Chain A
């Protein structure tokens, strides 16, 4: 099967992306985000989730949460590349919100077959936020691994590394039902649910481990591991797109600094020791971007190859995330090493995203199993 020349990125997707770009430019420049999430540098500060709920309401009104909800469930039913473009713009703004978590949860719930799943998708389409609680204590990214068990519609155990858990209206939880891993919907405010906020480095999101002690749960799909595996290419693409956006901000900001900061009587960018690595950052961003749009397009147009292509994209994007953030701090020099410089917001978001759902080496180990065969 051949994919469309333009990755399926047509006029509607371009309009959505451009409106998102304008929204972020108008509403949340880095100054504003920094004053919002980085007001307290105290290393022992209490954990808080800081974000603008008013903006989230606007986002819901703009329909962004409905973009990848199927029309039959009350959504807009746009292709995955549309969500990728939104994630890229959100990454470029280092936007604190449950948007990325909700997009990821949307793709998992889309793969569930039940009235409960359809109902949840409808709620997401009208602005409910959701997040995936699918990771165990060891930080396994395997869909079949979970630290939660389900019995008679009640959950017990603990899910770890839950993204933007303090913001989400709905939890989508994987739990061992005794008959494989199933996916459940849980109300974070329900009895028996305790959200323990993690003290994390990234200031532009929150994270938690969540314990369930006989918490009421609604079954979304008994074959939850299968649904998560099917959703994984989209989740990898969304996470990659977030990094591509942040990478572009880091590149442009560092380049501007290199044009103006003068040392040895010349702007830094004159020196090839600065200029050439910044070009290398650009090359890394562009390869990751092309791979990500390719993988996202493949989810609809070449599904048999989607997981392979998405792992390629995540590998490239994760490595680029580390590279772009390290070079940005280095080339900003002394100021880049300070809390007041905005670079650390993006540095920390990149370092967080790069490990989510597996870093570059993890993706390549799984790719090697696919393309070479398991090692002896």
Chain B
């Protein structure tokens, strides 16, 4: 839905540059299996190949285009969205440092201390340093402010103890953005925000243990801090301002922050023919080769109706993204931005669930069965879809946010 005719002169020039660069530098098919998304990464070889891709896109200026030059960015305005559109169009691999780019980078950029952000952001944007996010705890899920991990001030440093869970990419991470408690006197104002080293401190106050997902895949972890010592320069914003800083992280995670997250993707594994797994259009192809009641699922009235419902939802989501930039058609500026995470994750979940259903008896077969329909990818997609309807503020919390901030209903907490 990009419309080059609306580009500023800087954007138009940059778009042409991106197109040319991508035509000459697309990394081609990967030599190893690449999972459906960065949060499913568990094979180090896959990570290395993807990091090489991110580094080349960064060096070319396609990643971090809108960040200032002293922080390793391109110093441009409104150009990351252009690069994203062109990378999607060119069907590139995805960028592996997804949490770094989407959450850590804007937070460090807006709240990090001078010197620290110039030191950390270039290797974040290039993908050389993988980042993870330390928000969730066993007792702080949707109730994020209920943090128990504690940072104690000792001289010029902080000593951190606590337990983080559901930490995607921690097994590869050099750094973590950490929300924790510095005071027990106030639930919200007792929170502070740090960046902390992970891989370099394993065995020196940091333990990373994989958690196995319901799919059988790894990819996320628990991280335990035992007297980890962190210099004060790695504190973001004031002591006690952690909740405010976390709102910057969450706004960007929901696509509602001032900086556009660098994102690429669209590459299809050569083995997967036709529309990519996860799209509503793929349901049609699947229905044509799945059987129920003596005919194909594509001939079944109820299935046809449900596929159309999802294709309509997918088009509606696409058109919402287009309407967001048409000011005259938005009576409330946050109404559409705050919907995206909720709408996208539930739509993808319902698409995968319908695929599961369409496959009929064959849906019982998993990725390790040679006869599995579509290699068992829909089963994986369905189960993994719960990761994102739960993460980043469960969708029930998203509905509270929309009801309170957009519809002005009283707070439910």
Residues of A within 8 A of B (CB): 2-7, 9, 13-14, 17, 251, 255, 258-259, 266-267, 269-272, 274-276, 278-280, 282-283, 286-291, 293-294, 309, 312, 315-316, 361, 364-365, 367-368, 371-373, 375-376
Binary interface profile of B, 377-413, with partner A (CB < 8 Å = 1, else 0)?
0000000000000000000100110111011111110
Interface centre among B1, B343, B404, B407 (most CB of A within 10 A): B407
Q: In the complex, what's the smallest C-beta–C-beta distance from A241 to chain B, in angstroms?
A: 12
Q: Which of chain B's residues have a CB closer than 8 A to the CB of A309?
A: 315
Query: With A5-B325, A372-B284, A372-B298 in contact, do A270 and B308 touch (Cβ < 8 Å)?
Result: no
Q: Mark B1-45, 1 if CB is under 8 A from A, else 0.
A: 111001000000000000000000000000000000000000000
| Least Cβ–Cβ distance between B192 and chain A, in angstroms | 30
Stretch at the interface among B52-60, B100-108, B316-324: B316-324
Encoded as 1 (CB less than 8 Å from any A CB) or 0, chain B from 277 to 305 comes to 00000001001100000011011110011
| Smallest CB separation, A251 vs chain B (Å) | 8
Is the CB–CB distance between B316 and A2 below 8 Å? no
Query: Do the beta carbons of A270 and B304 come within 8 Å of each other?
Result: no
Whether A287 pairs with B399 at a CB distance below 8 angstroms is: no
Q: Does B326 contact A (CB under 8 A)?
A: yes
List, sorted by A's number, 21 A–B pairs whose CB atoms are closer than 8 Å: A2-B3, A5-B325, A7-B329, A255-B409, A269-B403, A272-B400, A275-B399, A278-B407, A280-B399, A287-B319, A287-B320, A293-B319, A294-B322, A364-B309, A367-B311, A367-B312, A368-B307, A368-B308, A372-B288, A372-B304, A375-B304
Contact of A5 among B6, B335, B404, B407 (CB under 8 A): B6
State whether B403 touches A286 (Cβ < 8 A): no
Not counting A7-B323, A269-B410, a sample of 20 additional A-B residue pairs whose C-beta atoms are within 8 angstroms of each other reads: A2-B2, A3-B1, A4-B3, A255-B409, A267-B410, A270-B412, A272-B412, A275-B399, A275-B409, A278-B407, A278-B409, A279-B407, A282-B339, A286-B323, A286-B336, A286-B339, A290-B323, A364-B304, A371-B311, A372-B287
Interface check B224, CB cutoff 8 A: no
Interface of B, secondary structure class, is helix
| Residue of B whose beta carbon sits closest to that of A256 | B408
Complex CA–CA separation, A293 to B313 (angstroms)? 15
> Which residues of A lie under 8 Å from residue B317 when comparing CB positions?
287
Distance A221 CA – B319 CA, assembled complex (angstroms) = 35
Interface residues of B (CB under 8 A from A): 1-3, 6, 284, 287-288, 295-296, 298-301, 304-305, 307-309, 311-313, 315-317, 319-320, 322-323, 325-326, 328-329, 335-336, 339, 342-343, 396, 399-400, 402-404, 406-412
Instruction: Give every chain B residue within 8 A of A14 (Cβ-Cβ).
Output: 328
Report the Cα distance A283→B313, complex, angstroms: 10
A275 to B315, CA, bound (A): 26
Q: B336 to chain A: which residues have CB within 8 Å? A: 286
Enumerate chain A residues within 8 angstroms of B335, measured Cβ to Cβ: 282, 286
A291, B315: Cβ atoms closer than 8 Å: yes
Q: Which of B295, B299, B339, B403 has the most CB of A within 10 A?
A: B403
Give A57 Cβ to nearest chain B Cβ, in Å. 28
Residue in chain A with minimal CB distance to B328: A14
CB pair A283–B308 under 8 Å, yes or no, is no
Q: Is the CB of A5 within 8 A of B3?
A: yes
Partner of B399, one of A276, A289, A368, A371: A276
Contact B326 A9 (CB under 8 A): yes
Q: How close is B317's CB to chain A, nearest CB, in angstroms? A: 7
**Are B315 and A255 in touch, CB under 8 angstroms?**
no
Bound together, the chains give a CA A372 to CA B329 distance in angstroms of 32
> Do A13 and B328 contact each other (CB < 8 Å), given the known contacts A255-B408, A272-B400?
yes
Top 3 A-B residue pairs of the complex, sorted by shortest distance between their CB atoms: A269-B409, A287-B316, A290-B319
